[in-house]
Structure 1
């Protein structure tokens, strides 16, 4: 099933389930979407969970990157974190595919002496510091 944008302003393509399926509580399942895409050079994609899936089903998509030189069938991994069996119907949007332009930079080993406003603050620490001021 061809990925599609459901609205003109959508920033990502919905990826659709090619067949009906059930996922048991705690189950992790790999599903082939029966989609092959040949991206232009320097264009790749990342797959994201649809917020509606988490809200409605407690099913998480374990995201991944699709490199620009990959031409095989796209597979996804689903985790049912809920306590009930979840059912998906053929054609249901299961995750989103966001395209992006690849950017390469030169990496090197060493210590960066230039300080920034954030510094080495970890997840959420920058927000906490701002609130405390």
Structure 2
């Protein structure tokens, strides 16, 4: 288990928790003074009242909650959102309404989930030639229908 320091930006903020032993993510909750209404085909940057610090060997990914996506067509716009290890600002979630009705967010509503992910840094080596493969440069549906 990796240690993550978490800071409440307001004493009324509730800390995220794993809801079950098998959960890989913790639910993030909105921390807002007034309800937020997201119109269809619109987005809103929702504050959580939390900031955090963790090792440079990790990133935190912000992902949609499957229940909100399935039942209300609400997703995280930049899925997965990335929180870098050197960011110390408030965690905010860009929610997008793909539905046909307004979506109302109230304080402490669970809006997304966060997962701690290991990061492997790349070492780039410039070259004029790449090794050949059977696929080659085929992409965007080239391997099937």
TM-score normalised by the shorter chain: which range applies? 0.7 to 0.9
Q: Per the alignment, in what secondary structure is the counterpart of residue 98 of structure 1?
A: strand
Q: Per the alignment, in what secondary structure is the counterpart of residue 95 of structure 1?
A: strand
The equivalent of 1:23 in structure 2 is: 38
Task: Give 1:109 deviation, angstroms.
Answer: 3.2
- Measure, in 1, the Cα distance between the counterparts of 2:24 and 2:129: 35
Task: Give 1:34 deviation, angstroms.
Answer: 0.8
Q: 1:50 aligns with which of 34, 51, 65?
A: 65
Structure 1 position 36 matched with structure 2 position 29? no
Q: Deviations over 1:48-83 (max 9, x none)?
A: 112211111112211321001111101111121222
Q: Deviations over 1:87-109 (max 9, x none)?
A: 22332221111111221121133
Within a 5 Å distance, the mapping from 1:88-107 to structure 2 comes to: 88-107=105-124
The equivalent of 2:132 in structure 1 is: 115
TM-score, length of structure 2 as denominator length: 0.75
Task: Give 1:125 deviation, angstroms.
Answer: 3.7
Q: Per the alignment, in what secondary structure is the counterpart of residue 103 of structure 1?
A: coil
Count of residue pairs brought into register by the alignment? 128
Structure 1 position 77 matched with structure 2 position 94? yes
- Measure, in 2, the Cα distance between the counterparts of 1:121 and 1:14: 38
Could you say which structure has the higher helix fraction?
A: 1
Change (3 A) 1:111 1:12: farther
TM-score, length of structure 1 as denominator length: 0.81
Contact 2:48 2:92 in 1 (8 A): yes
Change (3 A) 1:24 1:40: same
